[in-house]
A = this chain, B = another copy of it.
Amino acid sequence: MPEWKDYSKEQLLKLKAEYRRKYEEYRSLGLNLDMSRGKPSPDLLDLSNGLLAGLDTYTAEDGADIRNYGVLTGIPECRRLFSDLLDIPAEQIIIGNNASLELMNNVFSRLCLFGAQGHTPWSKLDKVKFLCPSPGYDRHFAISEAYGAEMQIIPMTENGPDMDVVEELVKRDGSVKGIWCNPLYSNPQGIVYSDETVGRLAAMETKAKDFRIFWDNAYGVHHIYEEHKIADILRLAEKAGNGDRVYYFFSTSKITFPGGGISMMAASEANIAEQKKHISVQTIGYDKINQMRTVKFFKSAEGIREHMVKLGALIRPKFDLVMDTLDREFGGTGLLKWIRPKGGYFISVDTLEGCAKEVVAAAKAAGAKLTSAGLTFPYGKDPMDSNIRIAPTYPAPDELRSAMNLLCVCIKLVSADKLLKEK
């Protein structure tokens, strides 16, 4: 079977008519499907309903009454839980409230207003540039955009951001102040940063002495197929003499309840001391009761790992369904490119250039909501207009099947049209 681009005009017209008909069939069904955001489905949430049960203690292991003020960095048993899970010394950990995004925002905001470790606050500089490996997470980009950083796309490879590009930029341009990273099962491609990539990020020479890596390990334990590990960026950076370069973030949003879990940041001891100084002005302490609930529910890091196996078992069929559909519908067509995600929450595909927006709009008009095209790039602008993020976790399996079938029809219809225009 030839690729679609090699079809004649007549063949393409026939295909276009066929998929137009199929599309209209879908549209007549009045579907209401959502593959737009990385939300867990109710059955995934149900696995954590134990968090809603009563709490039988309000005393932390150090004697603190968790109902009262105090304890800025988190109760010791909760810091230890994450220390064990992620192999980070507990004293380098601060437990936050319900959103690691808020921790990232707060750190970014402090860099702008106060600067880091004695460096000039970024808001006082003429220009701040931020590197955005893309496709990436829209909410990362939204933060750097809000604070006025000029965002620069970094191409992604199967091993993470293209490090040749990154190293070149950070070495010669002192206004490049940081990079967003989602190192394990990256959003949206499910890429795992290689040890070499992590090592180069930790050790690379940067013109800006206050260059910062926002290391959002959001899917740090979210294995779907086999388990993958990433190199220890905090230790590598410290070894390379760049200990203060990394802010590490994690949360239970995609482990227990999005918006009802707890978040975490980790960094060098100097960075933690600096953040504590700022945090102590901004709050008397984060919610220790939810920290205790989380500790009581999981009991240990091993408890979290076991929980993730159960979550993975529910998510895997959804990933498989999407991958099987893509293989079946697009194998050999030359219409679509994708990387098999190694885990995480998303699947990312690239259409022919200039088709993504139209595909997403067509799907939406027929009742299937996808992440807006472009949103996986800075400023919401995909220069190739080809990337589409599929979020398969929320829909029920049969809904996901319908939504995927509809998506395939839309891609084929829009692609046929695109190829015809080029004939």
> Which residue numbers of A lie inside 8 Å of B, CB to CB?
37, 39-40, 42, 45, 48-49, 52-55, 58, 65-70, 97-99, 101-102, 105-106, 109, 112-114, 123, 139, 142-143, 146-147, 253, 257-260, 278, 281-290
Inside 8 A of A101's CB, which chain B residues have their CB?
282-284
Copy total for this chain: 2
- Given the known interface contacts A98-B97, A282-B143, A287-B260, the answer about A68 and B52 at a Cβ–Cβ threshold of 8 Å is no
Cβ-defined partner of A67 (8 Å) among B45, B106, B289: B45
Knowing that A39-B69, A45-B68 are A-B contacts, what are 7 other residue pairs whose CB atoms are under 8 Å apart, sorted by A's residue number? A69-B253, A97-B287, A98-B286, A99-B284, A113-B113, A143-B282, A259-B285
Q: Are B260 and A67 touching (Cβ within 8 A)? A: yes
Inside 8 A of A67's CB, which chain B residues have their CB?
45, 48, 257-260
- Given the known interface contacts A69-B259, A258-B284, the answer about A113 and B39 at a Cβ–Cβ threshold of 8 Å is no
Q: Are A113 and B109 touching (Cβ within 8 A)? A: yes
Some 5 contacts from A to B, beta carbons below 8 A apart, are: A97-B97, A97-B287, A98-B286, A123-B123, A290-B290
Inside 8 A of A48's CB, which chain B residues have their CB?
67
Cα A106 to Cα B283 with chains together (Å)? 10
Inside 8 A of A284's CB, which chain B residues have their CB?
99, 101, 139, 258-259
Cα A58 to Cα B146 with chains together (Å)? 33
Cα A323 to Cα B411 with chains together (Å)? 77
Cα A55 to Cα B289 with chains together (Å)? 14
Q: Are B123 and A113 touching (Cβ within 8 A)? A: yes
Q: Are A287 and B98 touching (Cβ within 8 A)? A: yes
| Nearest CB in chain B: distance from A393 CB, A | 11
- Given the known interface contacts A105-B281, A142-B281, A290-B287, the answer about A68 and B259 at a Cβ–Cβ threshold of 8 Å is yes
Cα A376 to Cα B409 with chains together (Å)? 68
Inside 8 A of A286's CB, which chain B residues have their CB?
98, 259
**Chain B residue with the shortest CB-CB distance to A108:** B282
Cα A143 to Cα B279 with chains together (Å)? 11
Q: Are B99 and A283 touching (Cβ within 8 A)? A: yes
Q: Are A143 and B281 touching (Cβ within 8 A)? A: yes
Q: Are B68 and A289 touching (Cβ within 8 A)? A: no
Cα A37 to Cα B259 with chains together (Å)? 31
**Chain B residue with the shortest CB-CB distance to A70:** B259
Cβ-defined partner of A282 (8 Å) among B55, B102, B258, B260: B102
**Chain B residue with the shortest CB-CB distance to A55:** B52
**Chain B residue with the shortest CB-CB distance to A114:** B146
Q: Are A42 and B65 touching (Cβ within 8 A)? A: yes
| Nearest CB in chain B: distance from A70 CB, A | 7
- Given the known interface contacts A42-B65, A52-B55, A55-B52, the answer about A146 and B278 at a Cβ–Cβ threshold of 8 Å is yes
Inside 8 A of A281's CB, which chain B residues have their CB?
105, 139, 142-143, 146
A109, A278, A283 pick with most chain B CB within 10 angstroms: A283
Cα A65 to Cα B394 with chains together (Å)? 13
Inside 8 A of A70's CB, which chain B residues have their CB?
259
Cβ-defined partner of A37 (8 Å) among B49, B69, B143, B260: B69
**Chain B residue with the shortest CB-CB distance to A146:** B281
Cα A48 to Cα B54 with chains together (Å)? 13
| Nearest CB in chain B: distance from A106 CB, A | 8
Cα A52 to Cα B123 with chains together (Å)? 43
| Nearest CB in chain B: distance from A127 CB, A | 15
Q: Are B54 and A53 touching (Cβ within 8 A)? A: yes
Cα A16 to Cα B63 with chains together (Å)? 41
Inside 8 A of A112's CB, which chain B residues have their CB?
113
Cα A101 to Cα B69 with chains together (Å)? 13
Inside 8 A of A290's CB, which chain B residues have their CB?
260, 287, 290
Cα A282 to Cα B40 with chains together (Å)? 21
Inside 8 A of A258's CB, which chain B residues have their CB?
67-69, 284
Inside 8 A of A147's CB, which chain B residues have their CB?
113
Inside 8 A of A105's CB, which chain B residues have their CB?
281-283
Inside 8 A of A123's CB, which chain B residues have their CB?
113, 123
Cβ-defined partner of A287 (8 Å) among B69, B106, B143, B259: B259
